[in-house]
Amino acid sequence: DAKTTQPTSMDCAEGRAANLPCNHSTISGNEYVYWYRQIHSQGPQYIIHGLKNNETNEMASLIITEDRKSSTLILPHATLRDTAVYYCIVRGVNSGGSNYKLTFGKGTLLTVNP
């Protein structure tokens, strides 16, 4: 699996957009970008994933650069409850290999301040 690089921590003001970057410069054409988050004392929670196109759901937006070497997760109006560790993960699209599992790094601790 391609490795990802994320900042260790970020701060954001409540009500503002939180933009979390992720570098995955060695990503291959058959790998998705996934985002999960983990609120303190809970298990990780799926947020969003994408392959090439930008994606949006009720939780967040995912912007993937044209060369796919980096992406940004956007929480449009961050709330205090969005304080969590955010993990950017790449995962292969093909069946077989080890594409069934997620490989987590250390993620970014996002702190939303009042």
29, 43, 66, 67: residue in contact with other proteins (rule CB under 8 A): 43
Does the protein bind other proteins through residue 35 (CB under 8 A)? no
| Segment lying near other proteins (by CB under 8 A), choices 11-19, 38-46, 58-66, 74-82 | 38-46
Q: Are 33 and 50 in contact (CB under 8 A)?
A: yes
Does the protein bind other proteins through residue 5 (CB under 8 A)? no
39-45 long-range Cβ contacts below 8 angstroms, 24+ apart: 39/81, 39/83, 39/84, 40/83, 40/84, 44/87, 44/104
Does the protein bind other proteins through residue 107 (CB under 8 A)? yes
Residues near other proteins (CB under 8 A) = 32, 41-46, 49, 85, 87, 91-95, 98-107
